[in-house]
Structure 1
């Protein structure tokens, strides 16, 4: 390998070290080379285990998510999840019928709901149901099926059958990863399939995801970005991806 290429590789690694994430377009301009050249550089460096390629760039952070328990995840990014949940709760109106999927961010949403009149909630999450069952004005329909120990949520055909006979105004969806090409994903295939059924039962899909979920992907693909209506996230989101989301017709709400 010649000295020019080695120097270019070092510039790329230094830039990621400084900024955590680097875009192909920025590297092209800074190094005065084509996008094809940069992509070859990134591919080479990824094969050496020095970085991970993402849509339009690269970072040192592994984009592939493994399953973790809900007890572990609820201790991560607590403030961001709480702020996202409070913003999401403003989308809920009296006499509404909504779907709430599973995950720690939608569990925070359940705690943030302040409706004082009739509300119907259909959920796969046992923790969400336990949060809401305390309020006599909220009717909770707990989907049935096998309970996943790691997420405290149900999966399986029994839940899918119920969703075939339901229509709701909104789905509040938590995810493990958002990748611009791969779409939305979660660590469990059956949970992804249940989320797909929820999408079909809702008129509007609102994704609750802190900024760490972007650029990540996991085993179970839920849907493409074209199938969602809004993302509520925090100010840590990489601003360079906002135009892409807007092109997809997705409303992006960023909370402090």
Structure 2
């Protein structure tokens, strides 16, 4: 099997991979790998990213929430179940928008009282089934594409609350650019959420790594923990851990 086919086979399994990982696996130089990736991109078989490659376009366009729900369902459910285990008795948490954090709401079964602040309408519909969860639904304009609230009214509420954990969903994670989403207004609200939470936990399947979207939320250094699936590369895990981020891999 030629080297180009091996690269494509690897990408079919892990979704995103860095140049250094390919060098180790194929025992060739970084210069050779970069040439391979350039040729494969020219043929339309992959996308080059900063320091790596992906089968998907690294620049993300907005998708409707109903469409996103159908992507990486098994991975998202595994990530959500792991995240639910981090919720303590009598905890106060914040849940942002996105299909992975929406999945988290399905697996929350509080032992005692729980206070949950959220911008997501879908999250509220899941949590409202539990009488011992006190829900603070942020108010404002509703984005149809994400079924979540945005705007200054929601931001004002966050100035008067504090919680132990923020469970944050994102559209892209890039070591240099940071966390990003497709909506500038949603990114602004996420920034306010970061300030109101003692700990930020990002829930993202491995396809989100090496990608950028229009609106930056924050730098990678503002993240405390990332929960993802086994498609993430070992070198990327190491780089995240070197920056003090706890990386939890499920599946």
Question: TM (normalized to structure 2)?
Answer: 0.88
TM-superposed CA distance for 1:48, in Å, is: 7.4
TM-superposed CA distance for 1:160, in Å, is: 0.5
Q: How does 1:5-24 map to 2 (within 5 A)?
A: 13-20=4-11, 23-24=18-19
Instruction: Identify the residue that residue 139 of structure 1 maps to in structure 2.
Output: 134
TM-superposed CA distance for 1:158, in Å, is: 0.3
Q: 1:125 to 1:14 in 2, by over 3 A?
A: same
Question: TM (normalized to structure 1)?
Answer: 0.87
**Is the contact between residue 85 and residue 105 of structure 1 (CA under 8 Å) also seen in structure 2?**
yes
**Is the contact between residue 55 and residue 180 of structure 1 (CA under 8 Å) also seen in structure 2?**
no
Query: Hey, what's the Cα distance between the residues in 2 that align with 1:200 and 1:15?
Result: 44
Q: 1:79 to 1:18 in 2, by over 3 A?
A: closer
Instruction: Identify the residue that residue 166 of structure 1 maps to in structure 2.
Output: 161
Instruction: Identify the residue that residue 110 of structure 1 maps to in structure 2.
Output: 105
SS of residue paired to 1:95: coil
TM-superposed CA distance for 1:221, in Å, is: 0.9
Query: Hey, what's the Cα distance between the residues in 1 that align with 2:20 and 2:72?
Result: 30
Q: How does 1:215-230 map to 2 (within 5 A)?
A: 215-230=210-225
**Is the contact between residue 119 and residue 139 of structure 1 (CA under 8 Å) also seen in structure 2?**
yes
Q: 1:149 to 1:115 in 2, by over 3 A?
A: same
Query: Hey, what's the Cα distance between the residues in 2 that align with 1:135 and 1:124?
Result: 18
- The higher-RCO structure (CA 8 Å, 6+ apart) is 2
TM-superposed CA distance for 1:22, in Å, is: 5.3
**Is the contact between residue 18 and residue 233 of structure 2 (CA under 8 Å) also seen in structure 1?**
no
**Is the contact between residue 119 and residue 138 of structure 1 (CA under 8 Å) also seen in structure 2?**
yes
Q: Which one has a bigger Cα radius of gyration? A: 1
Query: Hey, what's the Cα distance between the residues in 1 that align with 2:41 and 2:70?
Result: 31
**Is the contact between residue 139 and residue 149 of structure 2 (CA under 8 Å) also seen in structure 1?**
yes
Taking only aligned residues, the RMSD between alpha carbons, in angstroms, comes to: 2.2
Instruction: Give the unaligned 5+ runs of structure 1.
Output: 1-10
**Is the contact between residue 16 and residue 22 of structure 1 (CA under 8 Å) also seen in structure 2?**
no
**Is the contact between residue 16 and residue 59 of structure 1 (CA under 8 Å) also seen in structure 2?**
no
Query: Hey, what's the Cα distance between the residues in 2 that align with 1:22 and 1:139?
Result: 41
SS of residue paired to 1:99: strand
Q: 1:48 to 1:201 in 2, by over 3 A?
A: same
Instruction: Identify the residue that residue 59 of structure 1 maps to in structure 2.
Output: 54
Q: 1:89 to 1:43 in 2, by over 3 A?
A: same
SS of residue paired to 2:88: coil
Partner deviation per Cα, 1:139-180 (whole Å, 9 max, x = no partner): 100001100001000000000001111111000001111112
Q: 1:129 to 1:28 in 2, by over 3 A?
A: closer
Instruction: Identify the residue that residue 5 of structure 1 maps to in structure 2.
Output: none
Q: 1:159 to 1:87 in 2, by over 3 A?
A: same
**Is the contact between residue 126 and residue 152 of structure 1 (CA under 8 Å) also seen in structure 2?**
yes
Query: Hey, what's the Cα distance between the residues in 2 that align with 1:235 and 1:40?
Result: 27
Instruction: Give the unaligned 5+ runs of structure 2.
Output: none
